[in-house]
Structure 1
Amino acid sequence: MRVLVFGHGYSAGFLTPLLVAEGWQVAGTTRGDTARVAAAGAEPLLWPGDEGAVRQEIAAADAILVSVGPDGGADPVLAAFGAEIGRARPRWLGYLSTTGVYGDHGGGWVDEDTPLTPSTRRGRERVAAEQGWQRLAAEHGLPLHIFRLAGIYGPGRGPFAKLRAGTARRIVKPGQIFSRIHAEDIARVLLASIKAPCPGAVYNVCDDDPAPPEAVIGHAAALLGLPLPPAEDFATAEMTPMARSFYAESKRVTNTRIKRQLGVALRYPDYRAGLVALARAEGLI
């Protein structure tokens, strides 16, 4: 059994060990960090670069995961290898998207059937990419699964380093709500789907507790016994356009479908459980 991961980055680094433990062979594309891919247990494939080897893996793969975002509005995997994937017809095809496709809902709840009304360029590009994969799946009978990921955190992506350095910021925008997901839980959702394909399925991948961003920083500071960073008003805070854009949308994302259809029990059902685990792993508490 073989899996090909396009864009073997942070999230795939948690999935590959789970697959290898169950007897899967994994290959993953990278722009150059072959050592990181190999350390996770996957065979590194340079792309761009070694397109011939990538095509061979497409033909041999039982499952293909696409973890590459749009590039300048176009989906690079579709553009380069859509025809080959269509001919190969793997038994499972996954695309990692984002909950940004839903747009702003003023803190209200969204599920997988909520109309897609993104308000950012990134969100619009992801909607276009989802539609492109859905067209390819319809044309070739591919078992496509779309995973809309909330904000990803995990080892190396927590708030502790900035808190300890005194550079963490507590930006406050009234009514702002984000959903999150621990990288380990992303991997467990993907594995469950690979084991039980449901062609055409769309899944929100998030935890149980959408929360304001300042609450997460506050809890992390309390865990370490550090002072709470001062509140900064979003309206006047100095931020890059990219950072500010993340506050353009506020919503609560439901994860009922991954529980009911895939039987997933989250290891980190809220940011509090996730932060405690990270702090313990880093020897901070």
Structure 2
Amino acid sequence: MTQQPHLFCFGLGYTALALARVLKQQGWRVTGTCRSTSNTEEARALGLEIVIFDPDHPVEGLAQRLAGVTHLLSSVPPGAAGDPVLQAHGATLAEAAPRLKWIGYLSTTGVYGDRQGGWVDEQSPLTPSGERGQRRLDAETAWLALPQPAHLFRLAGIYGPGRSVLDTIRAGKARRVLKPGQVFSRIHRDDIVQILLASFAHPNPGAAYNACDDDAADPAEVTAYACKLLNVAPPPEVPFAEAALSPMARSFYDDNKRVRNDRIKRELGVTLKYPDYRAGLTALLATESATSSSTTA
């Protein structure tokens, strides 16, 4: 009898829930962690098995829960004390790792640091420019140290349904900060899902993959394009030096690089659904319009 594929996911966030939705449609069993019972409504609606986990509340009986698991993914970010999943359950995961078909860890392109607009790929030196990037690099190293090393997915800025510049504009929170030469890479949530699925089909433990689209772009340019789609006036341009940004928002401008995604195409056979922000935003707006029309019909 063929074993039912079973994903255990630490951190059922925006991307992991989208992955779980696809896997459930394909007949998978999916178990995932949430930080509290207050954010499990969507997960339960999908028929997922929910477990509470946070740094102060380890998963009870994890070894038993992993008995039938075939695939394991972590999307939990590291904290000041390190990776909370490995801190709480490193020994259990090390014991389970050799029998799992696949292990994955969602990291960020922040591990490359600043390249002053230059290109990076998976072979580039890892030189994070800030504390958050260093924490990610430390977490990557720890996940690679498992008896079966994890696959690393270095994600660019994630956008998708309900979480894009279109929503920011509608909320009246959009801005156009000008910093000449600054670019950011992006990735649509649904393209992350297809990259993960492709890795399931072509496992290569220890491999790192950049998950980004083909077009690193100036964020002010992206905002202007989204305003055009929505037929609203773009917000005024504000020089970076004069922008009232939070320390967190300002830190994103510390890194300026273009990220290559050749490896997901060459090794995993991925064809991006949304190869640039124009395709992604246009599709999001079209889907919203179609949904609105069907609701009001």
TM-score (norm 1): 0.94
Structure-2 residue corresponding to 1:201: 207
Deviations 1:220-251 (A, max 9, x none): 00001111211010011111100000000000
Corresponding position of 1:99: 109
Instruction: Give the equivalent residue in structure 2 for 1:172.
Output: 178
Query: For residues 81-107 of structure 1, what are the alpha-carbon distances to aligned partners after superposition, in whole Å with 9 as ceiling and x for unaligned?
Result: 111111112121000000000000011
For 2:28, the equivalent position in structure 1 comes to 24
Query: In structure 1, how many angstroms separate the alpha carbons of the residues matched to 2:46 and 2:187?
Result: 20
Among residues 116, 131, 134, which one is paired with 2:126 in the alignment? 116
Aligned to 2:88: 80
The counterpart of 2:15, out of the listed 11, 16, 34, is: 11
* TM-score, normalisation: structure 2: 0.91
Q: CA deviation at 1:37?
A: 1.7
| 1:36 positional shift | 2.1
Superposed CA offset, 1:145-173 (max 9, x none): 00000000001111123323433101111
Q: Which amino acid aligns with 1:15?
A: L
Q: Does the CA-based 8 Å contact 1:180-1:271 persist in structure 2? A: yes
- List gaps (5 residues or longer) in structure 2: none
Q: Which residue of 2 aligns with 1:149?
A: 155
Shift of 1:50: 6.6
Which of 263, 266, 276 does residue 269 from structure 2 map onto?
263
The secondary structure found in structure 2 opposite 1:131 is: helix
Is this contact kept in 1: 2:11–2:74, CA < 8 A? yes
The number of aligned residues is 281
Partner SS, residue 146 of structure 1: strand
- Please say if residues 183 and 219 of structure 2, whose CA atoms lie closer than 8 Å, have aligned partners that are also in contact: yes
Specify the code of the residue in structure 2 equivalent to 1:71: G
SS at match of 1:123: helix
Q: Is the 8 A contact 1:34 1:45 kept in 2?
A: no
What one-letter code is carried by the residue in structure 2 that aligns with 1:95?
Y
Are the aligned partners of 1:169 and 1:229 in contact in 2 as well (CA < 8 Å)? yes
For the residues of structure 2 that align with 1:54 and 1:222, how far apart are their CA atoms? 50
Q: 2:279 aligns with which of 254, 261, 273?
A: 273
With over 3 angstroms needed to count, the CA separation of the structure-2 counterparts of 1:182 and 1:263, relative to structure 1, is same
SS of 1:248's equivalent? coil
Contact 1:110 1:253 survives alignment (8 Å): yes
Distance 1:74 1:164 in 2: 37
Q: CA deviation at 1:212?
A: 0.5
Q: Could you tell me whether the CA contact under 8 Å between 1:17 and 1:41 is conserved in 2?
A: no
In 2, the alpha carbon distance for the partners of 1:56 and 1:190 equals 25
Per the TM alignment, residue 61 of structure 1 is displaced from its structure 2 partner at its CA by 1.1
Q: Which moved more, 1:106-115 or 1:70-79?
A: 70-79
Aligned-partner Cα distance in 1 for 2:258–2:46? 32
Cα RMSD (Å) of the superposition? 1.5
Tell me how far apart the structure 2 counterparts of residues 176 and 198 of structure 1 sit (CA, whole Å). Answer: 34
SS of residue paired to 1:235: helix
